[in-house]
Amino acid sequence: MSLTWGSVSGWWLPLCLLLGLLYAWLMYRKPLQLQKGLRYGLFALRAIAVTLLALLLLSPLMKSVTYQPQKPLILIAQDNSESIKLFASPKSSLKESTLSNSFEALREQLGDDYEVHAFNFDKNLKDGLSKGFNGKQTDISGALKKLNDRFVNQNIGAVVLATDGLYNIGADPSYEAKNTHSSIYTIALGDTTTRRDVLVSNVNYNKTAFLGNDFEIEISVEAYQSKNAHTQLTVTEDGRNVHQQSVDISSAAFRKTIPIKLNADKKGVRKFVISLSHLDNELSYDNNSETIYVEVLDGRQKVLLAYDAPHPDITAIKQAIESNRNFEVKTNLVSDVAKLKQADYTMAILYQLQAGSYPKLQSFIQGKIPLWLVAGSQTDLQTFSDHQKVLDISANRAESQEVFAQMVPGFSAFALSDSTKNKLEKSPPLIVPYGSYKTGDGAQILLKQKIGNVATDYPLLAFGDEGGRKVAVLAGEGLWRWQLAEFREYGNHHATEELVSQSVQYLTANANRQRFRVYASKNVFDEGENVLLNAELYNDALELVNTSDVKIDLKNEAGKNYSFLFTRSGQSYQLNAGTLPVGSYTYTASTVLGKQAFKADGQLTVKPLNLEAHQSAADHQLLRQMAQQSGGKMLYPSQINQLTDLIKKNENIKTVVYEDKRYNDLIDMKWVFFLLLALVSVEWFLRKRAGEV
């Protein structure tokens, strides 16, 4: 502990001492009735007390330094995907199922000098080791990134990565490995030997088709160590054989893409199974088939997008809506709208209209179809506010400002994925009119405005119900910026498309004014994905209510029933049914409002994920590359016992001592107070005893 002066010069210390001596001299310079030794003692006490008080006026700081050692962290990340168990090496002297025991032994051998944390991963990173190897997807890069984020600014000594090097989602792990500033020791699981196998490696297809139309699927067939063999390719639709052909395997490493034309002859979600007949002594039969689901629609819903002047947002909105094959967008200048019939459209979007444009759209505005109004720097705000009751914008001058999107947690009209919510909040700002904003009764706000780092209550995107017609209002322009930024960062427009598409689906979903409606967030869910459903209940005045309980029964093809109760969310209902077994489900929901009973039904499908069976030969070259570029080493399961010595001999893996400096005002030290009190008390007591007080 030491004394520092902060912004004050240390030369004040002699002056403080001089002041203390001067004060004591003035007090004790006259001959007092005191013994000489006592007078000198009292002089010293007074000089020290005054010097200390003078020092306190200068606000000096006391610096204390502590040293905190941090042990090196050893992070174990174990691949928990199905490919580990499906294609385990038959020659491995250490079975993958005993990995957890080996890692526990490693923890004991490293002792107290290291801090060991164990994880397992497939699509997500989880705490602890696993013996199940049942993950349906593998994201090695994502696991490394989450470890880096979780232990940021900590002393990561080494990462032990046990995997076969096969991944089917996420980026190339070697790129993320470069961001891991520590040694990576890879444990090479699986088998690199190419063995006899035939598989459906990929199927390219559109998820939707239209009733009566032909559509094409492309099937990628691969075969290894099967030269001169023959396999039969079969495609069935809901159990009915719709295509069959023979495939001749002409090489040891065979690849072929086979296009097949099918017909959408029945409405609904159709199940297609693509399968290859088995060969003798195949490595695995799990990858010989693939199941896809195609939704056959009766026709597209038409959406009118009317505008006064061209804008990049027009194309962005059109592309986002048409990412859902259920919708078709007609873009039109307001001057040409008179040629269109309102009855041909399910919904209308009015983009930045001037006051004179609204009379030309009366057939759409006064009709019953849903409306979505978009404001911006060119919008006539008075007329804009007069033609809807969701959002009133008043401004004294025609100015604009940039605002960021801020998600509203309580929004319940429909659900957006977590990734979309995160991306939208990181998107570039939109341009909104500068003014005051006021929402109408019953309006639901999805996005609020964030000005710089300041969150406001001003709505950015809101929804309402006006006399049984759904209306949406977007207060800003610049969706094209969101598209460009998202594509630059992620290589796609998924967040923008999901926001716009879900908004349009919500607006058009209840156009027929059903009093009770239940619908899944999508018709086909992946295996292991949470099944989400929404419900809406309207009273006699066509107002959303959720006073009644809503029950739902989901039944699979085998007749097994799953019963749930919806939870209330805002004015609607939502249900997270969790993960369901693979298969097709029908559902029936029921509720009672007053004396009226309501029912709604539908269907959904949980499709199997077979990604882990698409690659059988482990990628040990990737693991070797990651280890070498980080200063680590690739080991096989039988060599795990070498890890302890490798880690202990690695000079980069060592305890780091962090220096912690703290500064406190001297006046805050309690001992200073007691020292001053002691000095003046002793002085007073001695003077009192000598009869000088």
Rounded percentage of the chain residues whose pLDDT exceeds 90: 33
What confidence tens digit (pLDDT) does each residue in 606-622 have? 888 777 777 778 889 99
Residue 67 above 50 pLDDT? Answer: yes
Work out whether strand 230-237 and strand 268-276 pair parallel, antiparallel, or are unpaired: antiparallel
Each domain of the chain, given as residue ranges in start order, spans 2-66+661-689, 72-193+617-654, 197-298, 301-509, 516-607
Mean pLDDT of the residues in the chain: 86
- Rounded to whole angstroms, the Cα distance separating 437 from 536 reads 28
The contacts of residue 621 (CB under 8 Å, 6+ apart) are 165
Indicate if 197-298 has the same CATH topology as 72-193+617-654. no
Residue 245 above 90 pLDDT? Answer: yes
Work out whether strand 197-204 and strand 572-576 pair parallel, antiparallel, or are unpaired: unpaired
- Rounded to whole angstroms, the Cα distance separating 506 from 574 reads 14
3-state secondary structure 66-101: EEEEECCEEEEEEECEHHHHHCCCCCCCCCHHHHHH
Residue 236 has what pLDDT?
94
What confidence tens digit (pLDDT) does each residue in 254-312 have? 999 999 999 988 888 888 999 999 998 888 888 898 888 888 877 678 899 999 999 99
Structure tokens at 494: 């998924």
Tell me which amino acid residue 205 is: Y
Residue 529 has what pLDDT?
85
Structure tokens at 674: 């007691």
Q: DSSP of 24-46, one letter per residue?
A: HHHHH-S--SS-HHHHHHHHHHH
Tell me which amino acid residue 98 is: T
User: Residue 334: helix, strand or coil by DSSP?
Assistant: helix
- Rounded to whole angstroms, the Cα distance separating 351 from 549 reads 39
Domain 72-193+617-654 CATH superfamily: von Willebrand factor, type A domain (3.40.50.410)
Q: DSSP of 225-291, one letter per residue?
A: S-TT-EEEEEEEETTEEEEEEEEE--SSEEEEEEEEEEE--SSEEEEEEEEEPPPTT-S-SGGGEEE
C-alpha of 563 from chain center: 30
- Highest-confidence segment of 217-226, 280-289, 409-418, 652-661: 217-226
Residue 465 has what pLDDT?
83
Residue 94 above 50 pLDDT? Answer: no
Residue 62 above 90 pLDDT? Answer: no
Residue labelled with tokens 């006699």: 540
What is the average per-residue pLDDT within 643-656? 88
- Rounded to whole angstroms, the Cα distance separating 489 from 477 reads 21
CATH match for 516-607 among 3.40.50.2300, 1.10.10.10, 2.60.40.1930, 3.40.50.300: 2.60.40.1930
Phi and psi for 562 in degrees, rounded to 5? -120, 120
Residue 480 above 90 pLDDT? Answer: yes
Are the C-beta atoms of 533 and 601 separated by less than 8 Å?
no
Residue 477 has what pLDDT?
93
Are the C-beta atoms of 375 and 400 separated by less than 8 Å?
no
What confidence tens digit (pLDDT) does each residue in 12-34 have? 778 888 888 888 888 777 766 67
What confidence tens digit (pLDDT) does each residue in 134-174 have? 888 889 999 999 999 999 888 899 999 999 888 888 888 98
Q: 301-509: which CATH topology? A: Rossmann fold (3.40.50)
Are the C-beta atoms of 107 and 643 separated by less than 8 Å?
no
Does the pTM surpass 0.85? The reply is: no
What distances in angstroms separate CA 625 from CA 28, 172, 179, 458, 634, one per listed residue? 83, 12, 14, 52, 9
Residue 9 has what pLDDT?
67
What distances in angstroms separate CA 637 from CA 44, 381, 634, one per listed residue? 77, 69, 10
Residue 89 above 80 pLDDT? Answer: no
Residue 95 above 60 pLDDT? Answer: no
Residue 484 above 50 pLDDT? Answer: yes
Phi and psi for 230 in degrees, rounded to 5? -130, 140
Neighbours of 5 (CB within 10 A): 15
What confidence tens digit (pLDDT) does each residue in 314-328 have? 999 999 998 887 788
Residue 93 has what pLDDT?
42
3-state secondary structure 123-183: CCEEECCCCCCCECCCCHHHHHHHHHHHCCCCCEEEEEEEECCCCCCCCCHHHHHHCCCCE
What is the average per-residue pLDDT within 521-532? 85
Neighbours of 365 (CB within 10 A): 17
Work out whether strand 240-248 and strand 400-407 pair parallel, antiparallel, or are unpaired: unpaired
The CATH number assigned to the domain with range 197-298 reads 2.60.40.10
What confidence tens digit (pLDDT) does each residue in 175-185 have? 888 888 899 99
Residue 552 has what pLDDT?
95
What distances in angstroms separate CA 117 from CA 96, 147, 372, 653, one per listed residue? 19, 10, 52, 15
What confidence tens digit (pLDDT) does each residue in 361-404 have? 888 888 888 999 999 888 888 889 888 889 998 887 788 899 99
